[in-house]
Amino acid sequence: MRRVLRKLGWVALLGASLALAVYGARGAAPGSSLTMRLAGPLAGPLAAAQWVRVDLAIRAGRTDLALARAETAFALNPTSTSGWFFLSRHLAFDLASPEREPDAAVRLRWVRAALAIAARGESTADDPAELAFWQGLVLARTAEVDAQLAWTGGVAGMWSEAAEHFERAARRGHPEAAAAAELARRARDSR
């Protein structure tokens, strides 16, 4: 009898998991991943633990491992603005730093990767305005400290794109974005 009940329990668990995977959780937040829905209330703590592991990989100089672990964290909690920001900041300010990477082409790839990560996060994060604003900051900083990158339109192009990101952040409700967009346009026009 216990064997039958145990098998029925496993069948019920499998059925519930499949239904959740196919139809989603009722009331699931927009942007909730399958992994997040299946992990339920443990998704947030599991993602937080994974971000600690991402940081350990970064400190060990294992960018490949950090990126793989970050993808797991994103799958667990794609709504975490801080996760998207953390990885994008590492790519833009650490890996794309002129002090760390002498090759301008490699730095350009890291900046583009940082912007792509933030853009991905903007579509699922709890605070998309913050990530739109962040993309503007990445470009503004890059225009100031790494002007020799082969960006379309040069430094003026960086400032133009920064202004576009700031404007999008302003439309999404970021309190400082409209002023930042105006400053970016002025910086572009002064070139």
Task: Give the type of residue at 140.
Answer: A
pLDDT, residue 69, reads 96
The mean predicted confidence, pLDDT, of the chain is 86
Planar angle of CA 56, 60, 65, nearest 5 degrees: 70
Could you tell me the two tokens for 99? 């002090």
pLDDT, tens digit (0-9, with 9 covering 90-100), for 128-180: 999 999 999 999 999 999 999 999 999 999 999 999 999 999 999 999 999 99
Confidence grade of residue 119 (pLDDT, cut at 50, 70, 90): very high
Planar angle of CA 40, 81, 130, nearest 5 degrees: 150
- Cα separation, 126 vs 115, whole angstroms: 18
Planar angle of CA 174, 178, 179, nearest 5 degrees: 115
Instruction: Work out the average pLDDT over 35-55.
Output: 80
pLDDT reading at 56 higher than 60:
yes
Could you tell me the two tokens for 64? 């490949």
pLDDT reading at 34 higher than 60:
no
Find the range with the poorest average confidence among 7-21, 38-52, 56-70, 139-153. Answer: 7-21
Confidence grade of residue 44 (pLDDT, cut at 50, 70, 90): confident
pLDDT, residue 14, reads 42
pLDDT, tens digit (0-9, with 9 covering 90-100), for 3-20: 655 655 454 444 444 444
pLDDT, residue 25, reads 42
Confidence grade of residue 72 (pLDDT, cut at 50, 70, 90): very high
Could you tell me the two tokens for 176? 């400082």
**Residues 81/131, Cβ–Cβ less than 8 Å:** yes
Q: DSSP string covering the chain, please?
A: -HHHHHHHHHHHHHHHHHHHHHH--TTPPTT--HHHHHHGGGHHHHHHHHHHHHHHHHHTT-HHHHHHHHHHHHHH-TT-HHHHHHHHHIIIIIIT-TTT---HHHHHHHHHHHHHHHHHHHTTSS-HHHHHHHHHHHHHHHHHH-TTS--TTHHHHHHHHHHHHHHHHHHTT-TTHHHHHHHHHHHHHT-
Closest CA to 146 of 89, 95, 90, 96: 96
Q: What percent of the chain has pLDDT over 70?
A: 79
- Cα separation, 50 vs 172, whole angstroms: 29
Q: What percent of the chain has pLDDT over 90?
A: 75
